[in-house]
């Protein structure tokens, strides 16, 4: 036996991983510091392919980091800052203990701080990378900006978050980048398309939060620290890409319009500007005059690559961007002002509200040219003749449908049609709510069906459903069907034979299509029998998933049908 | 030295003050005293001696000094009360005070004052000191005078009635004060009453004192010729302080060593943003190759809407189920709710939780790259020749042979294809005409017939060999192709006499095996060559009858072989097993099965090859007979093609038994099957 004995767990995948505790010891950091570092640097555990091998034969649950990641952390300058901070805290404590106030003051002035710019640059080497990862940043900033200025986090953080989110919304308005909106029970989802990236974020409703006790706010604060920096740089870049001034300035023309007498009553001077920005009612100042830019935008190169379909899509998008062009909205009280103002301005509408609701209203209720008045009450006290009084859902539904929907269904006091999620894209075989079908018909340019037709449609729908059901049944029960029929035939024959009685035969009408189908089904079944074990397993799994989907869809249709029937019965009763 | 002296002087003067104060206080009743306490605290006794009280405002120095003196106040007389003597004093020495008086002068003056002070004698009525007088409640006396004699209480204590009468009748009642220490009533004089009134109003005690007389500015912006005091300046006032020097040098040293950093300029670059990606470099760190971006949060569906379509709302059962389920098992993390208008939508209570969980996922959750198979299930199905192209094969059930009353264990067809023999558990062997399904003859054989029938295959005359229970159960009989030999199987664990070969022409039996090699399930002769197949529980052995040795052992890869059939060509064998499998052996390839067919759901009971058509069939307990097409090519390079062509059903499952035996018609592509439902069926 020559050579040294090979030791176990010294080569192979073990050498690529390190447990969390070991990593922490290697970095000489406390657990909170390690956590903060991981959050900031975007280091996360990896699941090794063979956990037992990496765990040196043990099956204890451990989290593993890539050893390369940890080595990479060793050279992070921020680690030094963490240590400085630790020393600072220790000194401060000592000074407090000795009641040396001058020392405390001096220490406080020299409090170590760190910047995250280099980390952002390192984590996101290109701008697009950063944009791709901005969803969580936006969600978090929007959440923090709604926090009350109580002890949960620093007031500066809240203010910064508010500032950044307002900047972001202003950018989306200026770029007309919004695509979809969805009012959910959690909050309002927005989806924008920025530089080809779809960015979705969720904004909570404007209520004070009931702060849970089982949430570690330090973790969230660390994330927010990173996210605010990221969002700030992204905003800067985005504003410059649109030739807008950053930090955003209101258009001088618009600013004059916004000047009001009661400005001072509303907010402090320092906060006033941000409030005006967040009102979203005025356009932003540009670095170059807007006329030139538009000219530049006008000439487009004929793109050879873009197919007909692509062109159509582009056209559609353009149309969607100008969805509310020329419409003038007025927001009543009790509607979510910020959301509606943001959404309407994103699609080119003009919007205003009562002076006392918020700063930045541009026109009064009495304005003659207002086309839509958004009210969230069963009835309005004073109604002007030349405008529609509608509920807020209309605006959101229009955006999702990409057309201006008829307003009849959204008048005050009317039961609203369901609000559908624009994020669901039904594939073949998926359940599609009838409202979606209607909207799609409207999109195709078909006239909205009258009530009589409506009923007919419903009938048709039902028929279709039944057919579907039949098909499903067939698929499942075909085998049994065949058997049963054959058995029956045989029994009949036997009976006939035993009775020795001649009865006139019946022409057996054979449906050639059906026969063919059956044949094919059988062929398939036989082929499935010949599948290999592995493939069969996979196939069965896929088919199981498909069947479940169908079952769910069927359940939904059945539920809907039951509901509609109950509604109809109710209606009839009330009529009688 | 001087300071010490000052202090002693002060101390003395204080004592004196207190005495004076008591003097006054004795004449007053308590509530008045309490009122005094509320007066301004800032005025300290010290101001009396500073000689500057006329200036009206107390300078800071005074306050500081007063701090020091507080420590010296051992008596519980508060600083506030000491204000009183100040004023009385003032009365006495007013003329002296008005001018700027140096400390020294002041001192002298105080000493003078002390000399003629007679306050000691005045307050010697009771020597008990400052104690609660209740302690003397039960004694006839109230204390002791200077001579040590008891001071007795007035003979009769006033009760309330006396008090009232006094109040009503005595015109001086309002100015009468009860002295607790002596227990006597004292009537205040007019001057004293006046003094009390003035003090209560917060005025100076002295009537003649002018509060508003013009003040003299000592410390003004004007530079005066003469110093305010003519005290010679201290040495320390023109020599640089050593202590300060030490302190400064320490600081300088600390700065030099870098221990103290200069005050930082306020760093406002934190909230300032710039174009971070200005010089965009496409260099990707090695780390980014391994980077697995976190999956995005799934987008909401219709059910999350504030106003979802009605079908997405939970019914009561669904809601109950949702509540019962564990949070991790739930399909939806929330209950869909419908609100009639946007105004009624409340805040989502778990919003912060969800964000926090997302944060945890981002930095705590281990990530792994998972390949998701995106296969079209249709692609998984193997492409086989269409059964239509592989015709003929049996497709439909055409005849049923009824007559047996027990399960039909075995069937066999005559070489001509005209007759069918069947053996059943009812103890009979029946002969049927194949085309008419008529029972031509029934032969009763004693006992239950087990595997009774086998017909000779290529001889013009047909023998039927049936076996019955004679001592031991004969499991199977098999004919040699020439019809002269007959092999019978009696499965037995212990014996080596499991297989016997009988020769018809010589009417002789012989035992081919010397040793027991396992439980024999079935045997078969090779159709052309002198080989003999023996299927034991897990393997098939092939013996060369001429050389009298084992040539091959086939591993069936199944738990328990039930049946076996040999291809008419002789190079292929199929084995059915009780664990639902049918294994196809290619004797030229290997001893392992060429293909395992798992077509049946239950145990395979029988297997058969067609003699001329490339067909084979297997019968199973699930009540089905599966007919497969199995072409065997002469080309050795090409593997046999196996395609299932038809699943024949018809037999009814009784007592968990389905089809028990299967045979092909010798010439037609027909298949017979016998089942546990006591029928034999013909599929054509």
**Min CA distance, A26 vs chain B (Å)?**
19
Nearest to B345 among A68, A205, A421 (CB): A205
A230 has which bridge partners?
none
B359 Cβ under 8 Å from any chain A Cβ: yes
Query: Which pLDDT score, from 0 to 100, does residue B78 have?
Result: 39
**Min CA distance, A4 vs chain B (Å)?**
34
Query: Which pLDDT score, from 0 to 100, does residue B299 have?
Result: 92
Residues of B in contact with A212 (CB under 8 A): 352-353
Q: Helix (H, G, I), strand (E, B), or coil: what is residue B253?
A: helix
Instruction: Quote the tokens at residue B328.
Output: 């991790």
Instruction: Tell me if B375 and A542 make a contact (CB, 8 A cut-off).
Output: yes
B625 Cβ under 8 Å from any chain A Cβ: no
Nearest CA in chain B to A63: B366
Give me the average pLDDT of each 10-residue run along chain A (576 residues): 80 89 92 93 91 88 91 89 92 95 88 88 88 93 89 86 92 91 94 92 90 90 93 92 85 62 54 76 66 44 54 79 87 89 90 84 85 87 85 92 88 89 86 87 72 43 43 45 60 62 75 87 86 88 91 91 91 82
B317 Cβ under 8 Å from any chain A Cβ: no
Instruction: Tell me if B342 and A183 make a contact (CB, 8 A cut-off).
Output: yes
**Where are any strands of DSSP class E within A93-240?**
178-183, 187-194, 197-204
User: Which residues of chain B fall short of a pLDDT of 70?
Assistant: 1-124, 156-157, 266-271, 280-288, 446-473
Instruction: Quote the tokens at residue A524.
Output: 């398939």
Q: Dihedrals φ, ψ of A229, to 5°? A: -60, -45
- Asked if residue B454 lies in contact with residue B441, where contact means CB atoms within 8 angstroms, the answer is no
Q: What's the mean pLDDT when you consider all of chain B?
A: 76
Instruction: Tell me if A557 and B356 make a contact (CB, 8 A cut-off).
Output: no
Query: Which pLDDT score, from 0 to 100, does residue A226 have?
Result: 94
Query: Which pLDDT score, from 0 to 100, does residue A256 have?
Result: 61
CA pair distance B8, A396, nearest whole angstrom: 90
Query: Which pLDDT score, from 0 to 100, does residue B623 have?
Result: 87
Residues of A in contact with B349 (CB under 8 A): 210
Nearest to B351 among A120, A187, A424 (CB): A187
Residue whose tokens read 């100008």: A322
Residues of B in contact with A424 (CB under 8 A): 299, 301-302
Instruction: From residue A135, give the alpha-carbon distance in Å to each of A132, A436, B632.
Output: 7, 27, 63
**Burial per residue of A42-74, b for 16 or more beta-carbon CB atoms within 10 angstroms, e otherwise:** bbbbbbbeebeebbeeeeeebbbbbbebbebbe
Query: Which pLDDT score, from 0 to 100, does residue A288 have?
Result: 56
ipTM, 2 dp = 0.84
CA pair distance B408, B422, nearest whole angstrom: 7
Nearest CA in chain A to B381: A528
- The 10s digit of each residue's pLDDT in B346-376 is 999 889 999 999 999 999 999 998 888 788 8
Give which of B1, B2, B114, B10 is closest to B66, Cα–Cα.
B10
Residues of B in contact with A524 (CB under 8 A): 381
Helices (H), A98-154: 101-109, 117-123, 127-132, 134-145
Residues of A in contact with B336 (CB under 8 A): 185
CA pair distance B443, B423, nearest whole angstrom: 10
Task: Name residues whose C-beta falls within 8 Å of residue A273's C-beta, 6 or more positions apart in sequence.
Answer: A250
**A528: how many CB neighbours lie within 10 A of its CB?**
18
Query: Which pLDDT score, from 0 to 100, does residue B380 have?
Result: 84
B282 Cβ under 8 Å from any chain A Cβ: yes
SS3 labels along B341-408 = CHHHCCCCCCHHHHHHHHHHHHHHCCECCCCCCCCCHHHHCCCCCCHHHHCCCCCCEEEEEECCCCCE
C-alpha Rg value of chain A to the nearest Å: 33
Instruction: From residue A309, give the alpha-carbon distance in Å to each of A195, A321, A403.
Output: 20, 18, 19
Instruction: Quote the tokens at residue A477.
Output: 């029960």
Query: Which pLDDT score, from 0 to 100, does residue B286 have?
Result: 53
- Asked if residue B627 lies in contact with residue B657, where contact means CB atoms within 8 angstroms, the answer is no
**Where are any strands of DSSP class E within A9-104?**
17-19, 64-66
Instruction: Quote the tokens at residue B224.
Output: 């005066």
CA pair distance A511, A518, nearest whole angstrom: 11
């Amino acid at each position: 036996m020559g050579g040294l004995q090979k030791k176990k767990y010294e080569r192979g995948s073990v050498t690529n991983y390190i447990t969390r505790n070991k990593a922490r010891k290697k970095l000489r950091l406390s657990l909170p510091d390690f956590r903060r570092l991981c959050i900031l640097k975007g280091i996360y555990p990896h699941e090794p392919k063979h956990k037992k091998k990496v765990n040196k034969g043990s099956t204890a649950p451990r989290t593993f980091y890539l050893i390369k990641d940890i080595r990479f952390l060793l050279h992070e300058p921020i680690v030094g800052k963490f240590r400085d901070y630790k020393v600072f805290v220790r000194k401060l404590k000592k000074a407090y203990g000795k009641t040396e106030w001058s020392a405390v003051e001096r220490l406080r002035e020299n409090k170590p701080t760190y910047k995250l710019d280099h980390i952002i640059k390192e984590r996101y080497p290109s701008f697009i990378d950063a944009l791709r990862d901005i969803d969580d940043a936006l969600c978090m900033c929007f959440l923090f900006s709604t926090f009350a200025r109580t002890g949960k986090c620093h007031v500066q953080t809240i203010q910064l978050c508010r500032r950044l989110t307002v900047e972001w919304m202003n950018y989306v308005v200026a770029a007309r980048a919004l695509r979809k909106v969805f009012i959910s029970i959690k909050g309002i989802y927005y989806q924008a398309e920025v530089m080809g990236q779809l960015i979705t974020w969720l904004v909570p409703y404007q209520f004070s939060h009931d702060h849970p006790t089982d949430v570690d706010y330090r973790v969230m604060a660390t994330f927010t620290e990173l996210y605010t920096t990221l969002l700030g740089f992204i905003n800067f870049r985005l504003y410059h890409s649109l030739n807008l001034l950053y930090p955003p300035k209101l258009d001088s023309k618009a600013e004059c319009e916004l000047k009001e007498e009661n400005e001072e009553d509303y907010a402090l001077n320092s906060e006033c500007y941000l409030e005006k920005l967040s009102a979203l009612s005025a356009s932003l100042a540009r670095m170059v005059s807007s006329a030139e830019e538009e000219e530049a935008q006008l000439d487009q190169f004929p793109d050879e690559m873009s197919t007909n379909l692509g062109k159509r899509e582009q056209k559609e998008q353009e149309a969607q961007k100008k969805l509310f062009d020329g419409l003038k909205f007025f927001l009543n009280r009790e509607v979510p002002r910020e959301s509606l103002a943001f959404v309407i301005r994103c699609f080119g509408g003009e919007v205003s509200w009562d002076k006392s609701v918020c700063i930045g209203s541009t026109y009064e209720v009495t304005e003659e040219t207002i086309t839509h008045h958004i009210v969230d009450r069963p009835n309005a006290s004073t109604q002007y003749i030349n405008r529609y009084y509608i509920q807020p859902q209309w605006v959101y539904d229009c955006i999702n449908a990409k057309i201006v929907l008829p307003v009849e269904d959204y008048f005050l006091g009317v039961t609203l049609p369901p609000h559908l999620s624009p994020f669901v894209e039904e594939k073949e075989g998926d359940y599609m709510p009838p409202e979606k079908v209607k909207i799609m018909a409207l999109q195709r340019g078909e006239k909205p069906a009258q009530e009589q037709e409506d009923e007919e449609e419903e009938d048709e729908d039902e028929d279709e459903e039944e057919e579907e059901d039949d098909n499903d049944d067939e698929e499942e029960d075909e085998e049994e069907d065949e058997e049963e029929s054959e058995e029956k035939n045989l029994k009949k024959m036997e009976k006939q034979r035993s009775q020795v009685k001649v009865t006139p035969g019946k022409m057996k009408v054979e449906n050639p299509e059906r026969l063919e189908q059956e044949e094919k089904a059988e062929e398939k079944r036989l082929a499935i029998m010949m599948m290999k074990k592995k493939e069969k397993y996979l196939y069965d799994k896929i088919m199981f998933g498909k069947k479940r989907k169908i079952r769910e869809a069927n359940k939904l249709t059945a539920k809907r049908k039951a509901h509609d029937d109950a509604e109809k019965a109710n209606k009839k009763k009330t009529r009688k | 030295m001087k300071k010490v002296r000052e202090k002693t002087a002060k101390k003395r003067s204080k004592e004196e003050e207190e005495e004076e104060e008591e003097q006054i206080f004795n004449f007053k009743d308590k509530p008045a005293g309490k009122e005094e306490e509320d007066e301004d605290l800032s005025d300290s006794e010290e101001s009396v001696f500073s000689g500057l009280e006329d200036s009206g405002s107390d300078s800071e120095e005074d306050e500081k000094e007063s701090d020091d003196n507080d420590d010296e106040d051992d008596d519980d007389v508060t600083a506030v009360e000491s204000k009183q003597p100040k004023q009385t004093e003032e009365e006495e020495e007013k003329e002296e005070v008005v001018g700027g008086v140096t400390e020294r002068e002041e001192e002298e003056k105080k000493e003078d004052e002390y000399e003629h002070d007679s306050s000691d004698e005045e307050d010697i009525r009771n020597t008990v000191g400052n104690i609660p007088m209740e302690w003397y409640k039960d004694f006839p006396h109230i204390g002791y005078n200077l001579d040590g004699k008891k001071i007795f209480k007035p003979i009769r204590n006033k009760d309330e009635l006396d008090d009232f009468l006094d109040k009503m009748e005595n015109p001086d009642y309002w100015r009468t004060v009860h002295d607790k220490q002596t227990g006597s009533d004292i009537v205040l004089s007019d001057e004293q009453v006046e003094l009390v009134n003035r003090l209560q109003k917060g005025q100076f005690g002295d009537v003649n004192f002018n509060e508003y007389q013009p003040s003299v500015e000592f410390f003004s912006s004007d530079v005066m010729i003469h110093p305010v005091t003519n005290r010679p300046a201290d040495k320390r006032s023109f020599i640089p302080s050593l202590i300060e020097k030490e302190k400064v040098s320490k600081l300088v040293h600390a700065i030099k060593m870098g221990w103290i950093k200069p005050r930082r300029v306020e760093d406002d670059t934190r909230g300032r943003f710039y174009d971070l990606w200005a010089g965009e470099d496409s260099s990707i760190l090695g780390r980014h190759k391994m980077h697995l971006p976190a999956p995005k949060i799934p987008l909401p569906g219709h059910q999350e809407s504030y106003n979802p379509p009605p079908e997405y709302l939970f019914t009561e059962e669904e809601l109950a189920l949702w509540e019962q389920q564990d949070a991790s098992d739930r399909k939806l993390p929330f209950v869909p709710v419908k609100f009639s208008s946007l105004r009624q939508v409340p805040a989502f209570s778990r919003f912060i939780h969800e964000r926090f969980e997302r944060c945890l996922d981002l930095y705590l959750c281990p990530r792994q790259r998972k390949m998701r198979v995106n296969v079209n299930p249709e692609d998984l199905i193997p492409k086989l020749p269409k059964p239509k192209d592989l015709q003929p094969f049996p497709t439909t059930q055409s005849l049923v042979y009824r007559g047996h009353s027990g399960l039909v264990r075995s069937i066999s067809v005559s070489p001509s294809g005209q007759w069918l023999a069947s053996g059943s558990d009812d103890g009979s062997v029946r002969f049927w005409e194949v085309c008419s399904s008529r029972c031509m003859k029934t032969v009763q054989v004693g006992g239950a017939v087990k595997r009774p029938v086998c017909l000779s295959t290529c001889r013009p005359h047909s023998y039927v060999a049936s076996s019955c229970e004679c001592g031991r159960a004969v499991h199977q009989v098999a004919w040699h192709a020439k019809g002269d030999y007959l092999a019978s199987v009696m499965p037995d664990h212990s014996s080596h006499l499991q297989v016997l070969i009988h020769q018809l022409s010589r009417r002789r039996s012989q035992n081919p095996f010397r040793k027991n090699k396992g439980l024999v399930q079935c045997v078969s002769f090779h159709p052309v060559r002198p080989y003999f197949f023996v299927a034991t529980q897990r393997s098939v052995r092939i013996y060369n009858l001429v050389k009298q040795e084992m040539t091959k052992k086939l591993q069936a890869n199944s738990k328990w072989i039930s049946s076996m059939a040999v291809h008419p060509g002789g190079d292929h064998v199929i084995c059915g097993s009780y664990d639902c499998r049918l294994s196809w052996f290619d004797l030229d390839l290997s001893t392992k099965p060429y293909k395992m067919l798992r077509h049946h759901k239950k145990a395979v009971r029988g297997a058969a090859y067609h003699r001329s058509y490339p067909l084979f069939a297997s019968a199973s307990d699930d009540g089905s007979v599966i007919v497969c097409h199995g072409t065997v090519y002469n080309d050795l390079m090409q593997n046999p093609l196996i395609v299932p062509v038809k699943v024949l059903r018809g037999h009814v499952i009784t007592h968990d038994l389905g089809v028990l035996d299967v045979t092909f018609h010798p010439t037609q592509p027909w298949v017979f099957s016998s089942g546990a439902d006591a029928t034999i069926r013909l599929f054509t």
